[in-house]
Amino acid sequence: MKFLSKIGLEPFIVCLFGAIALAWLNPSVGIASVCSITLSDIATWGVAGIFFFYGLRLDPEKLKAGLINVRLHLLVHFSTFILFPLIVLSAMFLCGAFESGKNISLLWLGTYFLATLPSTVSSSVVMISIAKGNLPAGIFNASISSLLGVFFTPILMSLFLDNLEGTHGLGDVILKLVVQVIVPVVAGILLNSKFGKFAIAHKVALRNFDQSIILLIVYTSFCDSFHKKMFDGFPMSDIVLLSVAMVGLFFFAMAIVWGLCRLMRFNREDTITAVFCGSKKSLVHGSVMSKVLFANPAIIGVVLLPTMLYHAYQLIIVSIIAKKLGRNGE
């Protein structure tokens, strides 16, 4: 465990790929039902719990403290919801993904789906704290990004969803996300004054609950995909190339945000917050939104693969950078 921590590879990342391996070995387990209830159903119900406890841990006073730095907020959300989609769309155009009569590959669709997702919350805040960045602004941006994603991700995804079988309509998607994400978060925030201390005191247990639900979503999604042989058309070289592309996407987006911070003359603390919040993507929201956006569960595992790879690499890379910045203080 200590070795994994040193290289930024958390046990959760190992469990993620372990869940995929289990799904590959025996996919029928993940799609079986007991008393008409499947593991996927349990994962869906657990999503509301994730966001309720997330809202319960949100301190309204800390959110208020991060409100004042408008330029920083605009840069973070520009990077999250505009820069990333533009980068991926440009890559799709250059690689011929839009050629006439050619269907968009599910891996390309998954990569664009990744680009539309909001920033992470907990890991961004932790890394900003380690690197000694602007923590109140980090809490504010990561939290607001999660809520904005409920609306921006489906809107941005509508570019492709209208032409893809097995997807829900935009209105239905936003309504489901509001019920599964916004309502639990707001309920948690309203109860923060009464139960916020309890949630903070048990943050490790709640983090384990969050990760268990994500693992369950990933496992059941890949069980469906493997059961219906959705990966049979993808050679291993495509997966390796996708991995390299995810690392390249991360560094490219991070470099652009860092350059914009210099142009806008941000101080060290604001630069760290902008780069960390503006270059990361949320696997939690990716897992939740994939289940809402795509009616066909068999394609979710393929679509989620770029997000899973990106999530693993961003944790490793940002962890190393954050520790170095924290030691050097520069």
The angle formed by the CA atoms of residues 224, 227 and 229, to the nearest 5 degrees, is 105
Task: Determine the Cα–Cα distance for residues 286 and 111; give it in Å rounded to an integer.
Answer: 11
Task: Determine the Cα–Cα distance for residues 3 and 11; give it in Å rounded to an integer.
Answer: 11
206 vs 310, residue with greater confidence: 310
Fill in the DSSP letter of residue 38.
Answer: E
* Structure confidence by residue, pLDDT tens digits, 193-233: 888 888 888 888 888 888 888 888 888 878 878 877 777 77
87 vs 204, residue with greater confidence: 87
* Structure confidence by residue, pLDDT tens digits, 112-156: 999 999 998 777 777 887 888 888 888 888 788 888 988 999 999
**pLDDT score, position 118:** 93
* Structure confidence by residue, pLDDT tens digits, 23-78: 888 888 766 554 456 666 677 677 788 888 888 877 777 677 667 788 999 999 99
3-state secondary structure 82-118: HHHHHHHHHHHHHCCCCCCCCCCCHHHHHHHHHHHCC
Mean pLDDT taken over the chain: 82
* Structure confidence by residue, pLDDT tens digits, 243-254: 999 999 999 999
Q: If DSSP codes are grouped into helix, strand and coil, which group holds residue 33? A: strand
CB 118 within 8 A of CB 80: yes
CB 222 within 8 A of CB 23: yes
